[in-house]
Amino acid sequence: MSGPGGFEAYDGHAGFEGRYGSGFEGRKETDEFDGPDGTGGFGDSGEFDDSEGFGNSGDSGGFGDSDGFGDSEGFGNSRDSGGHGDSDQFGDSDDFGDSEDFGDFGGPDEPVAGNGRGGDRERPPRIPMPRASVEDSGLPLPRLDDLPPVPLVLPHDVLKSLLGAWALAACSAAETAAVEEHLGTCGACAEEALRLRGAVGLLHQPESLDLDPTLRTRVLDGCLDRRPPRIPVPGWAAPYDAESARLDALLQDFGDAEWHAPVRLRWFEGNGTMSRRTTVAGVIAHLLSVDGLVAVALGLEDPLGDPEAEGARGSAARTEAFWRASRFPPTRSVRVPWREQSHHLVRTVSFTGGSTGALAVPYGDFTLPLHDAMLDRAFECWVHAEDIAEAVDYPYEPPAPRHLNRMIDLAARMLPAVLAARRREGLAAPGAARHLVPAGTPGRTLRLEIEGSGGGEWLIPLDSPGAAGSADHEVAHVALDGVEFCRLAAGHVSPQEAAAGQGGDREAIRDVLFAAASLSRM
């Protein structure tokens, strides 16, 4: 929750606060943040210097009298000569550095430190007698370090401006001493100091920023039960809605180190694993570019500009074009456009889903119906979220079972076509020669049994994409865990390594496992 949104939020704060009847006149200052683009006003450092809310903070009497401050007794054993260094350089910084020592000062009427007035009578004359300059004496100049300690004398404005840093124990020892000296004589500053010190106590490290990722579904389902939506999110778009929200939550607290963490994208092509190096931000750019295929099909804006999109049809080509088009590697700034596009997709398919279900989304060398394209994007979103989680060493759970089931179903339905394509390329055993079947009639079948939540059974026709799977014609049986099957289909596990129970025609099993891996792409 950072970025310009803070301004909007701040505005919100005033509304929130206003109901309480604030003693602090924050509203005046709030207006300074209300620039039209949410960023105006802040740069002007003069705007806030006057804390009207704290009343009469004008110069307190007595400050002008240098006697009160000229007496170094009032500062104790401060050896500071300039007060411009880091507090670490003062041997006696403990005397002042630890803010707790002053936590209980009694308020405006109770001075925290004597200002040394009592010693006036004993003092030497204030105006020193003229003396010869060292420069004229021919003697070596004293080193600066050897100068006697000069207590820090600061104008009232500066002391007042130091109150925040003082309350946070974030000024030098000498400044701390000067502020505390001042608090004894200036009621307005003492009052503000007390207030700011109290505010420090309200700061605390947020305990847990991570929301339970399953809470979103539970909350939304609960709402929709109580008031059924007039415009629901279609069931086939729900996995994409859920997966993009989960990934966005993962990205929530990423710092620059995480955004630039290296990620290796892996997929399966032909008979081997391919990979491409990028970063976490590069992965989000990849999702943005490829989700853009669906956006374009729906008539939404293409995240790739016209020139980049020209000639880049498939997912890899679009991603490479997107990466090439920006002069610098992708940064965290890619998150907002990705998230906005994902929200727009869900919203648009909710309105048009019924009529555009048959709309074909072109992926370059193949097309998918909109329903399946949204499932495909949900699957990719999860797979790449896992890549990202692995890169930054975060845990990441599989999708909800009912969503996982739809993703597996899509993969199972795509297998026959991929199998046929591999056959044409000579990568799979020729099926037609053995048992040619007309479209729609049953042919040799592999039974794919997916275990675990989200699982089920699918009959995969082996001879042609048009054939119907049939239990009577089963020649082989493969059993896999659902998440393992998805890793295979994502190209993250090789067909040889996939932990699959199997029985029957070994060649058919090999061909189907390789076809499953070939579903993956960059």
Q: Report the C-alpha gap between 380 and 411 in whole angstroms.
A: 12
- One of 134, 147, 215, 436 touching another protein (CB under 8 A): 215
Label residue 205 exposed, middle or buried (CB < 10 Å: 0-12, 13-18, 19+): exposed
Long-range contacts of 47-51 (CB under 8 A, 24+ apart): 49/157, 49/161, 51/160, 51/192
Stretch that binds another protein, among 241-249, 256-264, 312-320, 321-329 (CB under 8 A): 241-249
Size of the residue set binding another protein (CB under 8 A): 90
**Closest distance to another protein from the beta carbon of 75 (Å):** 19
C-alpha torsion angle, residues 505, 507, 512, 514 (rounded to 10): 150
- One of 124, 138, 140, 206 touching another protein (CB under 8 A): 206
Nearer to another protein by C-beta: 343 or 435? 343
- One of 131, 143, 227, 277 touching another protein (CB under 8 A): 227
- One of 152, 171, 467, 513 touching another protein (CB under 8 A): 171
Stretch that binds another protein, among 2-10, 117-125, 280-288, 358-366 (CB under 8 A): 2-10
Residues 247-276 that bind another protein (CB under 8 A): 248, 252
- Helix/strand/coil for 465: coil
- The amino acid at 352: T
Please name the residue that has the structure tokens 């909800």.
Answer: 400
CB 374 within 8 A of CB 236: yes
Nearer to another protein by C-beta: 291 or 474? 291
- One of 224, 432, 471, 499 touching another protein (CB under 8 A): 224
- The answer to whether 302 contacts another protein (rule: CB under 8 A) is no
Q: Which tokens belong to 167? A: 């309350």
Nearer to another protein by C-beta: 248 or 451? 248
- One of 28, 94, 98, 170 touching another protein (CB under 8 A): 170
Stretch that binds another protein, among 213-221, 279-287, 383-391, 394-402 (CB under 8 A): 213-221
Nearer to another protein by C-beta: 72 or 161? 161
- The answer to whether 499 contacts another protein (rule: CB under 8 A) is no
Helix (H) / strand (E) containing 4: none
Residues 144-163 that bind another protein (CB under 8 A): 161-163
- One of 100, 122, 136, 212 touching another protein (CB under 8 A): 212
CB 268 within 8 A of CB 517: yes
Task: Please name every residue paired with 277 in a beta bridge, in sequence order, or none if there are none.
Answer: 264
Q: Report the C-alpha gap between 150 and 47 in whole angstroms.
A: 33
**Closest distance to another protein from the beta carbon of 106 (Å):** 19
| Residues in Cβ contact with 406 at an 8 Å cutoff, skipping those fewer than 6 apart | 235, 236, 239, 375, 378
Residues 448-477 that bind another protein (CB under 8 A): none
Q: How many CB atoms lie within 10 A of CB 340?
A: 13
CB 497 within 8 A of CB 480: no
- One of 58, 76, 142, 229 touching another protein (CB under 8 A): 229
- One of 104, 136, 207, 393 touching another protein (CB under 8 A): 207
**Closest distance to another protein from the beta carbon of 83 (Å):** 11
Nearer to another protein by C-beta: 29 or 387? 29
Q: How many CB atoms lie within 10 A of CB 112?
A: 19
Task: Please name every residue paired with 398 in a beta bridge, in sequence order, or none if there are none.
Answer: none
Closest CA to 519 of 483, 482, 492, 480: 492
Residues 42-101 that bind another protein (CB under 8 A): 42, 45, 48-49, 51, 53-54, 86-87
CB 370 within 8 A of CB 356: yes
- The answer to whether 191 contacts another protein (rule: CB under 8 A) is no
- Helix/strand/coil for 450: strand
Residues 17-46 that bind another protein (CB under 8 A): 17-24, 26, 29, 33, 37-38, 42, 45
- One of 107, 134, 147, 200 touching another protein (CB under 8 A): 200
Cα separation of the two ends of the chain: 31
- One of 59, 134, 149, 223 touching another protein (CB under 8 A): 223
CB 348 within 8 A of CB 234: no
Q: Annotate each residue in 331-360 with x if it binds another protein (CB under 8 A) or - if it does not, as one string.
A: -----x--xx--x--xx--x----------
- The answer to whether 16 contacts another protein (rule: CB under 8 A) is yes
Please name the residue that has the structure tokens 């053995």.
Answer: 434
- The answer to whether 497 contacts another protein (rule: CB under 8 A) is no
